[in-house]
Every structure is written in C-alpha cells, then in structure tokens.
C-alpha cells in the first residue's frame, strides 16, 4: 500500500474515533466541542509560524466564514452524537457532499447529472431507513438525527469555504489554525450559555479531550490533507465512505452499541447514494 493511501485510511480512522471521544467525555457536547479546537491550537500555531505570506482581505473573509461553518458543524454534530446512535450521527453528517452539489445547483446554476440525482434519491431512501430505527434507540434519537442533517449543512458550507481558500493559495495549516481559533471563540460562549461544566473532573477527562483534539482533529485532518494532495480527487470518496463504517465499528466494539439489520441496510444505502452522487458531481 502506498504512503498517501495509507495516510488517507489512517486519517479517516482517526476522525472515526471522534464520536467515541465525544460520547465518553465528562463534559457536555458544547464544552467538548470547544476543547476539541482549543486544545488543537497549541499544536497548530507553531506550524503556522513556518508558513510564508499573509492572508489577504478576501482570504480573511473566507477564513472567518469557514470558522463559523466549522463551529456550527462541531456543535450540532456533538449534540447529535449524544442524542442518537454513533452510526446514524456519522452517516447523516456525511451527507455534506450532497449539500455541496445542491448548493452549486441553486446558487451557481450548475445542473446536476443523472448519476447525482440517482445517488441523492438512494441517500434519502437510506436516511428514511436510519430514521425508522431511531425510535428504538432512545427518546431523543429523532432529534439527534435532525442535528446530524444540520451538521451536514454546516459541513457543506465549510467545504465550500475551504475549496475557495485553497483555490486562492491558502495552505492546509493556515486553514486549520485560523478556523480552529475562530471556532473556539464562537463555541466558548455557547458552552458557557448552555450551563455545561467547562473543566473535566479528572485526568482521564483531560486525556479524552486531548485525544479528541490531537488524534481526531490534528492527526486525522492533517493526514487526510496530506493524502489528498498526493492522490487523485476520486480517492476522497474512500475516506468519506471509510470513516462512517469505522465509526460504527468502534461504537460496536468500544460502546457495545449494536446495529439493527434495518440500520445496517439503511447505512449501506446511504453510502451507496453518497458514492453515486460524488461520482456524478466529480
């Protein structure tokens, strides 16, 4: 296996661990989201010091937009993880690529292909199957599923902002550092307003937050960014499809969270729909 592909799969695995860290965190979802980006900054800022060139005015606007979108993505995803199953929250969050193409259709008048529309239909059918299983999971699972869809919308906005930044020459480190800082500034007042405890009670609680920040946020995102710089764009689908599968596997092994036959079927249909949609919008 070549190095970039290995990095892609390792990165997706690191990100797949994030729902586990969120679920076992001693803090609430908003406070956990804050520490996820805040604890990543001490690793990112030194790397940014080696970057050459400063961001222009247009880039700063996009960086702020990306930070706002990423804060919304993390906040709603963490709430979704706490309210519904890890499998559902992760699969629904990965609908982001569909929203990216829908946004291009609505705002840029880029007509989607037949393959994308077929993939969209399959994904929606899979979502309906996932939602059907949520009632048996917990009383809050349907709300968690809704938060998962909102997560995908915010993540789509983040993807569009980052694509525009990369087209303007912004580096991966610059994007990750500034968006993490903006997200931390936005998530701190949200965590305080929610009434959640802001500090873990034990060393294990701090280690959980450090794992979320350093393994999932820094290592996961960094490995994927490295891999996609050396692989064809089509390989991005590998991480998109691999990550929710690994998240569901981790939840089964580490949290004893079972998957019903209908949920597995719905997940497979969602992944098939995402795959077809991405091929149709490539």
Task: For 85-101, write each residue's pLDDT tens digit.
Answer: 888 898 888 888 778 77
d(Cα 4, Cα 230) in Å, to the nearest integer?
6
* 264 vs 214: which has the higher pLDDT: 214
d(Cα 270, Cα 122) in Å, to the nearest integer?
6
Percent of the chain at pLDDT exceeding 90 = 34
pTM: 0.85
User: Coil, strand, or helix at residue 55?
Assistant: coil
Query: What's residue 53's pLDDT?
Result: 58
* Average pLDDT score over residue span 130-150: 81
d(Cα 280, Cα 282) in Å, to the nearest integer?
6
State the chain's mean pLDDT as an integer: 84
Highest mean predicted confidence (pLDDT) among 32-41, 168-177, 219-228: 32-41
Q: Report whether 160 contacts 103 (CB < 8 A).
A: yes
Query: What secondary structure letter does DSSP report for 235?
Result: G
Spatial CB neighbours of 216, under 8 Å, sequence gap ≥ 6: 14, 15, 17, 18, 21, 36
Q: Report whether 187 contacts 33 (CB < 8 A).
A: yes
Domain count, the chain: 1
Which residues span the domain enclosing 84? 3-281
d(Cα 278, Cα 261) in Å, to the nearest integer?
26
């Amino acid at each position: 296996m070549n190095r970039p592909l290995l990095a892609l799969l390792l990165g997706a695995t690191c990100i797949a661990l994030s729902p586990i860290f969120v679920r076992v965190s001693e803090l609430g979802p908003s406070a956990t989201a804050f520490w996820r980006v805040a604890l990543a900054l001490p690793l990112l800022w030194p790397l940014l010091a080696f970057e050459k060139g400063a961001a222009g005015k247009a880039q700063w606007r996009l960086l702020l937009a990306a930070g706002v979108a990423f804060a919304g993505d993390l906040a709603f995803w963490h709430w979704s993880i706490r309210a519904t199953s890890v499998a559902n929250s992760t699969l629904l969050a990965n609908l982001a690529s569909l929203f990216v193409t829908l946004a291009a259709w609505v705002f840029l008048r880029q007509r989607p292909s037949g393959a994308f529309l077929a993939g969209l239909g399959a994904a929606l059918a899979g979502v309906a199957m996932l939602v059907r299983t949520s009632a048996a999971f917990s009383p809050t699972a349907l709300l968690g599923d809704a938060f998962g869809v909102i997560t995908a919308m915010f993540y789509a906005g983040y993807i569009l902002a980052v694509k525009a930044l990369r087209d303007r020459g912004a580096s991966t480190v610059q994007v990750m550092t500034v968006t993490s800082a903006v997200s931390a500034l936005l998530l701190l007042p949200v965590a305080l307003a929610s009434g959640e405890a802001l500090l873990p009670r034990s060393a294990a609680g701090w280690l959980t937050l450090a794992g979320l920040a350093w393994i999932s946020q820094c290592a996961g995102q960094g490995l994927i960014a490295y891999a996609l710089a050396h692989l064809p764009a089509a390989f991005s689908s590998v991480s998109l499809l691999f990550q929710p599968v690994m998240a569901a596997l981790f939840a089964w092994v580490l949290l004893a969270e079972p998957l019903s036959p209908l949920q597995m079927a719905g997940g497979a249909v969602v992944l098939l729909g995402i795959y077809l949609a991405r091929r149709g919008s490539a």
